[in-house]
Chains A and B, each alone.
Chain A
Amino acid sequence: MWVYEKKLLYPVEVTTCNPMLARYIMEQYGGADGELAAALRYMNQRYTVPDKVIGLLTDISTEEFSHLEMLATMIYKLTKDASPEQLEKAGLGAHFVNHGHSLFYENAGGVPFTATYIQSKGDPIADLYEDIAAEEKARATYQWLIDISDDPGINDSLRFLRERENIHSLRFREAVEMLKDERDRKKVF
Protein backbone atom coordinates (compact mmCIF):
# COMPACT_ATOMS: atom_id res chain seq x y z
CA MET A 1 0.00 0.00 0.00
CA TRP A 2 0.99 3.64 -0.16
CA VAL A 3 0.68 6.58 2.19
CA TYR A 4 0.56 10.13 0.86
CA GLU A 5 3.18 12.59 2.06
CA LYS A 6 2.13 16.22 2.13
CA LYS A 7 5.30 17.60 0.53
CA LEU A 8 7.07 17.65 -2.81
CA LEU A 9 10.20 15.55 -3.32
CA TYR A 10 12.04 18.75 -4.33
CA PRO A 11 10.82 22.39 -4.40
CA VAL A 12 9.07 23.74 -7.49
CA GLU A 13 9.24 27.50 -7.89
CA VAL A 14 7.65 29.16 -10.89
CA THR A 15 8.79 32.62 -11.92
CA THR A 16 6.04 33.70 -14.35
CA CYS A 17 2.80 32.42 -15.88
CA ASN A 18 3.90 30.59 -19.04
CA PRO A 19 1.34 28.23 -20.63
CA MET A 20 3.63 27.46 -23.57
CA LEU A 21 6.26 26.03 -21.21
CA ALA A 22 3.50 24.11 -19.37
CA ARG A 23 2.52 22.53 -22.67
CA TYR A 24 6.09 21.39 -23.34
CA ILE A 25 6.40 19.96 -19.81
CA MET A 26 3.30 17.81 -20.51
CA GLU A 27 5.64 15.62 -22.60
CA GLN A 28 7.13 14.38 -19.32
CA TYR A 29 3.72 14.27 -17.60
CA GLY A 30 1.69 12.11 -19.97
CA GLY A 31 4.11 11.32 -22.80
CA ALA A 32 5.68 8.01 -23.90
CA ASP A 33 8.91 8.59 -21.95
CA GLY A 34 7.28 10.51 -19.12
CA GLU A 35 6.96 9.93 -15.40
CA LEU A 36 3.50 8.31 -15.51
CA ALA A 37 4.79 5.75 -18.02
CA ALA A 38 7.87 5.13 -15.86
CA ALA A 39 5.94 4.75 -12.61
CA LEU A 40 3.37 2.37 -14.11
CA ARG A 41 6.00 0.36 -16.01
CA TYR A 42 8.14 -0.45 -12.94
CA MET A 43 5.22 -0.95 -10.59
CA ASN A 44 3.80 -3.55 -12.95
CA GLN A 45 7.05 -5.37 -13.78
CA ARG A 46 8.01 -5.91 -10.14
CA TYR A 47 5.66 -8.87 -9.54
CA THR A 48 7.57 -11.20 -11.84
CA VAL A 49 11.22 -10.19 -11.39
CA PRO A 50 13.67 -12.05 -9.07
CA ASP A 51 13.47 -11.08 -5.37
CA LYS A 52 16.84 -9.33 -5.60
CA VAL A 53 15.45 -6.48 -7.75
CA ILE A 54 11.89 -6.16 -6.42
CA GLY A 55 12.97 -3.51 -3.90
CA LEU A 56 14.62 -1.41 -6.59
CA LEU A 57 11.60 -1.48 -8.92
CA THR A 58 9.26 -0.67 -6.02
CA ASP A 59 11.39 2.23 -4.79
CA ILE A 60 12.09 3.77 -8.19
CA SER A 61 8.42 3.45 -9.20
CA THR A 62 7.42 5.21 -5.98
CA GLU A 63 9.95 7.97 -6.66
CA GLU A 64 8.53 8.41 -10.18
CA PHE A 65 5.14 9.20 -8.66
CA SER A 66 6.80 11.98 -6.68
CA HIS A 67 8.32 13.27 -9.94
CA LEU A 68 4.85 13.18 -11.49
CA GLU A 69 3.61 15.37 -8.63
CA MET A 70 6.46 17.85 -9.25
CA LEU A 71 5.53 18.07 -12.94
CA ALA A 72 1.84 18.50 -12.08
CA THR A 73 2.84 21.35 -9.76
CA MET A 74 4.85 22.99 -12.56
CA ILE A 75 1.98 22.70 -15.07
CA TYR A 76 -0.57 23.91 -12.51
CA LYS A 77 1.50 26.93 -11.46
CA LEU A 78 2.44 27.85 -15.05
CA THR A 79 -1.20 27.85 -16.24
CA LYS A 80 -3.42 28.74 -13.26
CA ASP A 81 -3.49 32.48 -14.03
CA ALA A 82 -3.56 32.17 -17.83
CA SER A 83 -6.56 33.58 -19.72
CA PRO A 84 -8.27 31.47 -22.43
CA GLU A 85 -6.59 33.74 -24.99
CA GLN A 86 -3.15 33.09 -23.50
CA LEU A 87 -3.84 29.34 -23.45
CA GLU A 88 -4.97 29.44 -27.09
CA LYS A 89 -1.83 31.33 -28.11
CA ALA A 90 0.27 28.64 -26.37
CA GLY A 91 -1.43 25.89 -28.37
CA LEU A 92 -3.65 24.86 -25.45
CA GLY A 93 -6.98 26.06 -26.95
CA ALA A 94 -8.12 22.49 -27.60
CA HIS A 95 -6.97 21.48 -24.11
CA PHE A 96 -8.95 24.36 -22.60
CA VAL A 97 -12.27 23.53 -24.29
CA ASN A 98 -12.01 19.92 -23.14
CA HIS A 99 -10.36 20.27 -19.71
CA GLY A 100 -10.56 23.92 -18.65
CA HIS A 101 -7.68 24.76 -16.34
CA SER A 102 -7.41 21.18 -15.10
CA LEU A 103 -4.52 18.87 -15.87
CA PHE A 104 -4.70 15.89 -18.20
CA TYR A 105 -2.39 12.96 -18.92
CA GLU A 106 -1.30 13.90 -22.42
CA ASN A 107 1.94 14.71 -24.22
CA ALA A 108 3.11 18.08 -25.56
CA GLY A 109 1.20 17.40 -28.79
CA GLY A 110 -2.07 16.76 -26.92
CA VAL A 111 -2.05 12.97 -27.47
CA PRO A 112 -3.65 11.21 -24.46
CA PHE A 113 -1.58 8.75 -22.41
CA THR A 114 -1.83 5.09 -23.44
CA ALA A 115 -0.61 1.86 -21.82
CA THR A 116 0.88 0.94 -25.20
CA TYR A 117 3.81 3.22 -24.24
CA ILE A 118 5.00 0.62 -21.74
CA GLN A 119 5.92 -3.05 -21.80
CA SER A 120 6.24 -5.96 -19.42
CA LYS A 121 7.96 -8.97 -20.94
CA GLY A 122 8.20 -11.44 -18.07
CA ASP A 123 11.92 -11.62 -18.80
CA PRO A 124 13.89 -9.69 -16.16
CA ILE A 125 16.83 -8.82 -18.42
CA ALA A 126 14.53 -7.59 -21.22
CA ASP A 127 12.46 -5.61 -18.70
CA LEU A 128 15.50 -4.00 -17.06
CA TYR A 129 16.99 -3.02 -20.42
CA GLU A 130 13.69 -1.35 -21.30
CA ASP A 131 13.86 0.46 -17.96
CA ILE A 132 17.40 1.71 -18.65
CA ALA A 133 16.28 2.96 -22.06
CA ALA A 134 13.27 4.66 -20.47
CA GLU A 135 15.50 6.52 -18.02
CA GLU A 136 17.88 7.64 -20.78
CA LYS A 137 14.98 8.86 -22.95
CA ALA A 138 13.51 10.76 -20.00
CA ARG A 139 16.93 12.29 -19.29
CA ALA A 140 17.17 13.45 -22.92
CA THR A 141 13.66 14.96 -22.75
CA TYR A 142 14.57 16.86 -19.59
CA GLN A 143 17.64 18.22 -21.37
CA TRP A 144 15.52 19.49 -24.31
CA LEU A 145 13.08 21.04 -21.82
CA ILE A 146 15.92 22.84 -20.01
CA ASP A 147 17.27 24.05 -23.38
CA ILE A 148 13.89 25.52 -24.37
CA SER A 149 12.92 26.98 -20.96
CA ASP A 150 14.08 30.35 -19.66
CA ASP A 151 12.34 30.12 -16.26
CA PRO A 152 15.11 29.86 -13.62
CA GLY A 153 12.81 28.28 -11.00
CA ILE A 154 11.52 25.63 -13.41
CA ASN A 155 15.03 24.95 -14.71
CA ASP A 156 16.28 24.25 -11.20
CA SER A 157 13.58 21.60 -10.70
CA LEU A 158 14.14 20.17 -14.21
CA ARG A 159 17.87 19.83 -13.54
CA PHE A 160 17.10 17.88 -10.37
CA LEU A 161 14.79 15.56 -12.30
CA ARG A 162 17.37 15.10 -15.08
CA GLU A 163 19.95 14.00 -12.50
CA ARG A 164 17.49 11.53 -10.96
CA GLU A 165 17.13 9.84 -14.36
CA ASN A 166 20.91 9.38 -14.40
CA ILE A 167 20.86 7.74 -10.96
CA HIS A 168 17.92 5.48 -11.85
CA SER A 169 19.67 4.41 -15.05
CA LEU A 170 22.83 3.60 -13.05
CA ARG A 171 20.88 1.56 -10.46
CA PHE A 172 19.04 -0.39 -13.19
CA ARG A 173 22.37 -1.16 -14.87
CA GLU A 174 23.69 -2.44 -11.53
CA ALA A 175 20.54 -4.58 -11.20
CA VAL A 176 21.26 -6.16 -14.60
CA GLU A 177 24.76 -7.04 -13.38
CA MET A 178 23.33 -8.58 -10.17
CA LEU A 179 21.10 -10.86 -12.26
CA LYS A 180 23.91 -11.73 -14.69
CA ASP A 181 26.21 -12.64 -11.77
CA GLU A 182 23.54 -14.95 -10.42
CA ARG A 183 22.99 -16.55 -13.83
CA ASP A 184 26.75 -17.06 -14.36
CA ARG A 185 27.16 -18.60 -10.90
CA LYS A 186 24.49 -21.17 -11.71
CA LYS A 187 26.45 -22.25 -14.78
CA VAL A 188 29.42 -23.25 -12.60
CA PHE A 189 27.45 -25.96 -10.82
Chain B
Amino acid sequence: MSVFDERMALLKKIQQTDFVVVEWTLYTDTHPDDEDALDQWREAIKDAAAARKQYENKFGPISLKSTPSKQALEVGWRWNQAPWPWQL
Protein backbone atom coordinates (compact mmCIF):
# COMPACT_ATOMS: atom_id res chain seq x y z
CA MET B 1 0.00 0.00 0.00
CA SER B 2 1.40 3.45 -0.90
CA VAL B 3 1.77 6.11 1.78
CA PHE B 4 -1.09 8.04 0.19
CA ASP B 5 -3.40 5.01 0.19
CA GLU B 6 -2.51 4.29 3.81
CA ARG B 7 -3.25 7.90 4.73
CA MET B 8 -6.63 7.80 2.99
CA ALA B 9 -7.53 4.45 4.60
CA LEU B 10 -6.71 5.69 8.11
CA LEU B 11 -8.54 8.95 7.44
CA LYS B 12 -11.61 7.06 6.29
CA LYS B 13 -11.51 5.04 9.51
CA ILE B 14 -11.57 8.32 11.51
CA GLN B 15 -14.46 9.60 9.39
CA GLN B 16 -16.39 6.41 10.10
CA THR B 17 -15.76 6.27 13.85
CA ASP B 18 -16.29 10.02 14.31
CA PHE B 19 -19.56 9.78 12.42
CA VAL B 20 -20.85 7.20 14.89
CA VAL B 21 -20.12 9.72 17.66
CA VAL B 22 -21.94 12.50 15.77
CA GLU B 23 -24.97 10.28 15.27
CA TRP B 24 -25.17 9.05 18.89
CA THR B 25 -24.64 12.59 20.16
CA LEU B 26 -27.68 13.88 18.29
CA TYR B 27 -29.73 10.85 19.31
CA THR B 28 -28.89 11.26 23.00
CA ASP B 29 -29.64 15.00 22.76
CA THR B 30 -33.30 14.07 22.27
CA HIS B 31 -33.23 10.77 24.24
CA PRO B 32 -31.37 11.83 27.41
CA ASP B 33 -32.77 8.93 29.47
CA ASP B 34 -31.85 6.12 27.05
CA GLU B 35 -29.12 4.39 29.08
CA ASP B 36 -28.32 1.89 26.33
CA ALA B 37 -27.78 4.73 23.84
CA LEU B 38 -25.59 6.60 26.34
CA ASP B 39 -23.44 3.48 26.76
CA GLN B 40 -23.05 3.16 22.99
CA TRP B 41 -22.21 6.86 22.75
CA ARG B 42 -19.43 6.44 25.36
CA GLU B 43 -18.09 3.36 23.53
CA ALA B 44 -18.15 5.22 20.21
CA ILE B 45 -16.01 8.01 21.70
CA LYS B 46 -13.38 5.43 22.71
CA ASP B 47 -13.36 3.84 19.24
CA ALA B 48 -13.02 7.26 17.60
CA ALA B 49 -10.10 8.18 19.86
CA ALA B 50 -8.31 4.94 18.96
CA ALA B 51 -8.77 5.50 15.21
CA ARG B 52 -7.56 9.08 15.59
CA LYS B 53 -4.41 7.97 17.41
CA GLN B 54 -3.56 5.52 14.61
CA TYR B 55 -3.72 8.28 11.97
CA GLU B 56 -1.98 10.90 14.07
CA ASN B 57 0.95 8.58 14.87
CA LYS B 58 1.90 8.71 11.17
CA PHE B 59 0.38 11.82 9.67
CA GLY B 60 0.25 14.41 12.43
CA PRO B 61 -2.51 16.17 14.37
CA ILE B 62 -6.15 16.14 13.28
CA SER B 63 -6.91 18.63 16.06
CA LEU B 64 -4.88 21.10 18.10
CA LYS B 65 -6.26 19.35 21.18
CA SER B 66 -4.67 16.01 20.26
CA THR B 67 -1.83 14.75 22.44
CA PRO B 68 1.16 13.49 20.41
CA SER B 69 2.41 9.98 21.19
CA LYS B 70 6.14 9.19 21.34
CA GLN B 71 5.88 7.70 17.84
CA ALA B 72 4.09 10.78 16.54
CA LEU B 73 6.78 13.08 17.95
CA GLU B 74 9.47 11.02 16.21
CA VAL B 75 7.71 11.48 12.86
CA GLY B 76 7.42 15.21 13.58
CA TRP B 77 4.30 16.80 15.02
CA ARG B 78 3.38 19.76 12.77
CA TRP B 79 0.04 21.54 12.32
CA ASN B 80 0.67 24.06 9.56
CA GLN B 81 1.33 21.51 6.88
CA ALA B 82 -0.47 20.51 3.67
CA PRO B 83 -2.50 18.66 2.61
CA TRP B 84 -5.54 20.39 4.07
CA PRO B 85 -8.82 18.47 3.79
CA TRP B 86 -9.95 20.06 0.51
CA GLN B 87 -6.56 19.35 -1.08
CA LEU B 88 -6.78 15.58 -0.66
Contact = CB atoms under 8 A, between A and B. Distances in A.
Q: Secondary structure at chain A's binding surface: helix, strand, loop or mixed?
A: helix
Which range holds the interface residue count of chain B? Answer: 20 to 34
Nearest to A56: B29
Contacts of A171: 26-27, 29-30
Interface string A1-25: 0011111111110000000000000
B25 A73 contact: no
A131 B73 CA distance: 44
Given A3-B64, A6-B63, A7-B85, A59 B11 contact: no
Which range holds the interface residue count of chain A? Answer: 20 to 34
B63 A8 contact: no
A55 B85 contact: no
Interface in B5-38: 11-12, 14-15, 18-19, 22-23, 25-27, 29-32
Contacts of B85: 6-8, 69, 73
A73 B88 CA distance: 10
A162 interface: no
B4 interface: no
Given A6-B85, A11-B15, A73-B86, A167 B61 contact: no
Given A4-B63, A69-B85, A174-B31, 6 more contacts: A5-B63, A10-B15, A53-B29, A63-B26, A174-B30, A175-B29
